[in-house]
Amino acid sequence: MILPDLIVPTYVQMLGALSGWLGKAETQGTGDAVMAARLAPDMFPLATQIRFACVQAQEGVHRLRGEAFPPVVTELLDEGRNAGERPGTIADARARIAQTLALLEQVRDDMPAVDPTTPIAHTLPQGMVFDLTAEQFVRDWALPQFYFHLMTAYAILRARGVELGKVDYVAHMFAYLRPKTASGG
């Protein structure tokens, strides 16, 4: 499997789900205050989790393309780091998701094949550097980090009373459902 063929569709389907979860939060009347909600006092709020999920998707794509990060990645990181004081609105978060989805759609058909053994030096803000292959980067960093922020957002929304269930998390799976095998059918 070509790494971009794995990572880009995963980001697209799960960011679409995240936007849907936020849509449910809006329609169920949680209000924008949910954006400041946290699972624990030492964790980032929902607003940060959403922005960091977008960062992970954009960062993953740009690293695999061998490109420098565009300014929007820094903007998302800054917004996320400051979300405790300025969480923004659900509409703001959904706009950031839409922006990330637009980028992913734009590069989807233009992703180069990446040799899984291509070296990637992944530097964290604290100065730590991880030397990985492209395959290790996707498997051990890009996807796990993305899912960490995504699932933390899901857990915050659930903890704040948004009616979400497994069907909201795996909605993309219904495209694969064998006809007449759903319960009752």
Residue-wise pLDDT for 2-60, tens only, equals 777 889 999 999 999 999 999 999 999 889 999 999 999 999 999 999 999 999 999 99
Q: How far apart are CA 76 and CA 82, in angstroms?
A: 10
Domain range for 24: 3-176
Which pLDDT score, from 0 to 100, does residue 172 have?
Answer: 87
Tell me the CATH number at 94. 1.20.120.450
Share of the chain above pLDDT 90, in %: 74
The DSSP letter of residue 163 is -
Residue-wise pLDDT for 118-131, tens only, equals 999 988 888 999 99
Asked if pLDDT for residue 1 goes beyond 70, the answer is: no
Residue 81 counted as domain residue: yes
Provide the domain count of the chain: 1
Residue 185 counted as domain residue: no
Residue 183 counted as domain residue: no
Residue-wise pLDDT for 75-94, tens only, equals 999 999 999 899 999 999 99
Residue 181 counted as domain residue: no
Asked if pLDDT for residue 157 goes beyond 80, the answer is: yes
Residue 43 counted as domain residue: yes
* Alpha-carbon dihedral 133, 139, 145, 146, rounded to 10 degrees: 120
Q: How far apart are CA 131 and CA 124, in angstroms?
A: 12
The whole-number average pLDDT for the span 131-135 is 95
Nearest Cα to Cα of residue 37 among 123, 144, 156: 156
Nearest Cα to Cα of residue 101 among 22, 13, 25, 24: 13
